[in-house]
């Protein structure tokens, strides 16, 4: 981290303001070459940290822009290094020009996530907090934002640290007892077992909550499927409250997956309108149907649509046979027309109970409120949802480390008759918890985490 890095911190498009971020040991020396304070009484030697100053960016005495320079002195900055932010006019040409001048004077372009990576390496935040920064930037709904903020404010770190202390206390108990005993039998085995079982139970509870957290963070996958021309695209438009999909009377209008995000009854969904499943007529439709089947496999809930004004045929039955082992809701569309089947008949045909059946008219917007309530109830009941306020972890990498910690704690219990093996397993479990918050650093993991950040963050 001997280099000084620079990157735009705002999106490179015309706007009222653009921000350029600089960090590293030569930050002030480089900026001093191109920036002059408007007030002659101020210079870089007497300027205070966390102060903003009006001035001018020049390149060999040629004025580039009038800017606001904000100073952050080490270690009281985001990265822990000397930092500065230049707020200039939001013209991409001006932003790029200033960056070019900074590079010419000694800066290098930052890699994706390099500012946050430096913050982690300089001890300004743990790894779980660093990861939350990307989640905050990419959050698409209130729940995912709140989950990321919990991580950023250290709630996960505190939880993992407490669990690790419990694990280490077990090691201390074993080693202390061995110091005062001649044989393993004298160790309080039951007490050690109970402590390990208690810790395993706590971690497994977190793992279960993590599944829900991941689902909520990325959006619950809701797939609308059925044969062509049953109203799938119409339902998508109604749920999104906008004309996202083209709706015509011609069967097979949708050839590819159409997706969008929507909040339904307070829960975040990623919703997919799929191509109608039938014997494909051409290569394009064949590809669309394959994508539909792939979406069904990855779904959290399927809305299987049928046309209530027409008889159920082999196509409907075949589609239902493909989705019946998944989490599904049968949506009977065209309630505005004369329905051929009543609720009881449909329950008999599909061998379902009535809480898997919803009647709507996508055209007339009828029954939609009942449908959304059923969607919420099915998701909550099928996943044993808890309140999002109780979820702390929503990261797949963290879940994997937690599962590995449990695995080695169970191995420790199995090997308590040999304290050396038990202690080794317990220490490995503690190491997996340390990997979550970055006490143990794997360069490959670091690279993988920060490469997904935007440049300038």
- Residues 270-312 pLDDT 10s: 998 886 665 655 566 566 667 777 788 888 999 999 999 999 9
Instruction: Give the span between the Cα atoms of 320 and 275, in whole angstroms.
Output: 15
- pLDDT higher than 50, residue 246: no
Contacts of 43 (CB under 8 A, 6+ apart): 37
Q: How confident is the model at residue 253 (pLDDT cuts 50, 70, 90)?
A: very low
Q: How far apart are CA 291 and CA 274, in angstroms?
A: 8
Strands 328-333 and 357-359, sheet pairing: parallel
Say yes or no to pLDDT of 430 above 70: yes
Quickly count: other Cβ atoms within 10 Å of residue 117's Cβ: 23
Average pLDDT rounded to a whole number, residues 332-346: 90
User: Could you tell me the two tokens for 27?
Assistant: 């930050």
Of residues 391 and 46, more confidence is placed in 46
118-175 per-position pLDDT tens digit: 999 999 999 999 888 888 888 877 888 888 888 888 888 999 999 999 999 888 888 7
In the structure, what pLDDT confidence band is assigned to residue 243 with cuts at 50, 70 and 90? Answer: low
* Domains observed in the chain: 5-110 (3.30.1360.120), 130-215+395-450 (1.20.120.430), 219-383 (3.40.50.300)
Mean pLDDT over 235-247 rounds to 73
Instruction: Measure the CA–CA gap between 202 and 206, rounded to whole angstroms.
Output: 6
Question: Is the pLDDT score of 64 beyond 60?
Answer: yes
Yes or no: say if 217 and 391 are a contact pair by the CB < 8 Å rule. no
Write down the pTM of the prediction. 0.76
Give the pLDDT confidence score for residue 254 in this predicted structure. Answer: 46
pLDDT at 401 over 80: yes
In which band, very low, low, confident or very high, does the pLDDT at 31 lie, cut at 50, 70 and 90? Answer: very high
pLDDT in tens, 68-89: 999 999 999 999 999 999 999 9
Q: What is the dihedral of CA 152, 156, 159, 162, to 10 degrees?
A: -70
* Strand order across the 258-264 sheet: 258-264, 267-273, 220-225, 301-307, 328-333, 357-359
Mean pLDDT of 97-113: 95
Indicate the pairing of strand 108-109 with strand 62-72.
Answer: unpaired
pLDDT tens for each residue of 162-214: 999 999 988 888 876 555 554 445 557 788 888 999 999 999 988 988 888 88
pLDDT at 244: 52
Quick one: pLDDT at residue 255? 47
Mean pLDDT score, 42-71: 92
What's the pLDDT at 277?
62
**Residue 53 neighbours by CB distance under 10 Å:** 16
Q: Does the structure show a pLDDT above 50 at 247?
A: no
User: How does pLDDT run across 341-379, given as a tens digit for each residue?
Assistant: 888 999 999 999 889 999 999 989 999 999 999 999 898
Q: Name the band, by pLDDT with cuts 50, 70 and 90, for residue 443.
A: confident
Q: What pLDDT is attached to residue 332?
A: 94
Higher pLDDT, 12 or 354: 354
pLDDT at 250: 44
Band (pLDDT 50/70/90 cuts) for residue 315 is: confident
Average pLDDT, the chain: 86
pLDDT value of residue 7: 95
């Amino acid at each position: 981290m001997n280099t000084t890095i620079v990157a735009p911190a705002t999106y490179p498009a015309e706007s009222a303001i653009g921000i350029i971020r600089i960090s590293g040991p030569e930050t002030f020396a480089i900026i001093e070459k191109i920036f002059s304070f408007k007030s002659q009484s101020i210079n870089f030697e007497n300027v205070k940290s966390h102060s903003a100053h009006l001035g001018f960016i020049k390149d060999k005495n040629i004025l580039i822009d009038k800017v606001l320079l904000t100073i952050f002195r080490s270690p009281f900055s985001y990265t822990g290094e000397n930092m500065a932010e230049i707020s200039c006019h939001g013209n991409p040409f001006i932003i790029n020009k200033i960056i070019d001048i900074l590079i010419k004077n000694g800066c290098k372009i930052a890699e994706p996530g390099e500012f946050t990576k430096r913050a982690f390496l300089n001890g300004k935040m743990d790894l779980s907090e660093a990861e939350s920064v990307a989640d905050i930037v990419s959050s698409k709904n209130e729940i995912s934002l709140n989950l990321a903020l919990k991580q950023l404010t250290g709630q996960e770190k505190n939880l993992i640290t407490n669990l690790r202390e419990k694990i280490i206390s077990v090691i201390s108990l074993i080693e202390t007892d061995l110091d005062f005993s001649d044989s393993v039998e004298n160790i309080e085995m039951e007490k050690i077992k109970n402590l390990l079982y208690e810790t395993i139970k706590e971690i497994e509870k977190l793992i279960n909550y993590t599944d829900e957290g991941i689902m909520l963070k990325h959006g619950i996958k809701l797939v609308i499927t059925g044969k062509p021309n049953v109203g799938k695209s119409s339902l998508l438009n109604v749920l999104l409250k906008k004309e996202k999909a083209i709706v015509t009377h011609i069967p097979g209008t949708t050839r590819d997956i159409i997706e969008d995000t929507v909040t339904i009854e307070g829960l975040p969904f990623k919703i997919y309108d799929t191509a109608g499943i039938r014997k494909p007529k051409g290569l394009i439709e064949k590809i669309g149907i394959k994508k539909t089947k792939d979406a069904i496999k990855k779904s959290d809930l399927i809305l299987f649509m049928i046309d209530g004004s027409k008889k159920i045929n082999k196509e409907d039955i075949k589609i239902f046979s493909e989705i019946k082992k998944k989490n599904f809701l049968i949506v009977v569309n065209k309630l505005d027309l004369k329905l051929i089947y009543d609720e009881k008949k449909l329950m008999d045909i599909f061998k379902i109970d009535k809480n898997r059946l919803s009647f709507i008219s996508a055209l007339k917007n009828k029954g939609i409120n009942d449908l959304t309530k059923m969607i919420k109830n099915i998701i909550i009941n099928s996943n044993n949802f808890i309140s999002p306020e109780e979820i702390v972890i929503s990261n797949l990498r963290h879940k994997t480390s937690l599962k590995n910690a449990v695995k080695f704690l169970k191995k420790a219990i199995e090997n308590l008759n040999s304290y050396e093996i038990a202690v080794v397993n317990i220490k490995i479990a503690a190491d997996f918890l340390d990997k979550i918050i970055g006490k143990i650093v794997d360069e490959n993991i670091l690279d993988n985490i920060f490469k997904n950040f935007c440049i300038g963050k």
